[in-house]
Structure 1
Amino acid sequence: MTTDNQHPDPTLDELTAQAAAAAAASVPQSLEAKLAETETRLAEMSDAYLRAKAEAENIRRRGEEDVSKARKFAVEGFAEAMLPVMDSLSAAIARPDASVEQVLEGVHATLRQLSAALERNKVLEINPATGTKFDPHQHQAISMVPADQDANTVVTVLQKGFSISDRVLRPALVTVSAPK
């Protein structure tokens, strides 16, 4: 028995309605929470994107500056190596009363300085020995001459060649033996 003051036990329909009302009330809250969370993540990602974009732009700009400086000052080390050679030549000109032997000695000393400066900067001579097989990558044949050597071998070197870092700056000018 129930009296007016007592609540009857809820029926299945009432329980379902209460559960549906609770779910409906929680859905907007969870959607609002998800929306707020998504907006927060979007703001964080936008900030991270802008920072990454700015960093990439700074790296690109610094890279361009480095390349520009490298081009501008690429010969600085080589020029520094050439200055003593220039000084030696200037000193030789400053002595007009020098004897032929003194001038020749100065020229040899200057040539040694120049060779050392070139070598320090990886500029190497290509000076093939007589009898060396002709290499079209390092030699330029000026003429073919009859010789007692095998065909296509270097007979004489007319002018030394030079390379830098395995790249030929100037091939050696040579005469080669003609086929018999």
Structure 2
Amino acid sequence: MQEIPLNQEPARAEPADAGADANPGVATEAIRETMPSLEELLRKAELQAQEHHDAWLRAKAETENVRRRAQLDVANAHKFGVESFASALLPVKDSLEAALAAQNDTVESIRNGVELTLKQLLAAFEKFTLTEINPVGEKFDPHRHQAMSMVESDQAPNTVVQVLQKGYMLHDRVVRPALVCVA
């Protein structure tokens, strides 16, 4: 066994990169070997970023197209929403014009023509669920009726006694409230 003097430090192992300091040409060669892979990684990342950007632009354009189509559909729905209702009313207009064009009609034939025209109109209303509000005898409902006056009556208070003008509802929405007299 060898003795180490006390004032002397033990020998230390050299670090792994000590050889690099000793031979700088080897270190730069190692760096050069890794550089192409870093450049390739950067190129791949840039390509992927470009692909994501292109996909984002396409998605943005598609979203804008969908928004424009939806706006156009809504505008057309507003513009042409009553088209089928108007088509249902055209026979009524035709009947009224035919009645006005008729010569030497009797009162009875005019009455029959008006009744047929009213039936056509009511059929159009029924087709589009436009219903009458005729609330005689019903309890007053401020959402469906408009009170024009209050009268003395044998009926219970707040009951519709007389209808001055019928109201109309389209599905569940009041188009025109019934004008009524209330007890």
Whether TM-score is above 0.5 comes out as: yes
Larger Rg: 2
Query: SS state of the match for residue 164, structure 2?
Result: strand
Instruction: Give the alignment partner of residue 140 of structure 1, picking from 135, 139, 146.
Output: 146
Question: Does 2:65 match 1:65?
Answer: no
Query: SS state of the match for residue 158, structure 2?
Result: coil
Bigger shift: 51-60 or 135-144? Answer: 51-60
Identity %: 53
Amino acid at match of 1:108: E
Gaps of 5+ in 1: 1-10
Query: SS state of the match for residue 65, structure 1?
Result: helix
What is the aligned partner in structure 1 of residue 6 from structure 2?
none
The 4+ residue runs of structure 1 with deviation greater than 3 A are: 11-27
Aligned-partner Cα distance in 2 for 1:13–1:43: 41
What is the aligned partner in structure 2 of residue 120 from structure 1?
127
Aligned-partner Cα distance in 2 for 1:90–1:12: 110
What is the aligned partner in structure 2 of residue 92 from structure 1?
99
Question: Does 2:36 match 1:29?
Answer: yes
Instruction: Give the alignment partner of residue 109 of structure 2, picking from 102, 114, 117.
Output: 102
Change (3 A) 1:30 1:93: same
Aligned length: 166
Aligned-partner Cα distance in 1 for 2:33–2:27: 10
Gaps of 5+ in 2: 1-13
**1:55 CA drift (Å):** 1.0
**1:173 CA drift (Å):** 0.9
Instruction: Give the alignment partner of residue 83 of structure 1, picking from 76, 90, 101.
Output: 90
Query: SS state of the match for residue 95, structure 2?
Result: helix
**1:16 CA drift (Å):** 6.7
Measured against aligned partners, the alpha-carbon deviations of 1:131-171 in whole angstroms (never above 9, x if no partner) come to 21000000011111111111000111111101113111110
Query: SS state of the match for residue 140, structure 1?
Result: strand
Instruction: Give the alignment partner of residue 161 of structure 1, picking from 160, 163, 167.
Output: 167
Amino acid at match of 1:165: H
**1:26 CA drift (Å):** 4.8
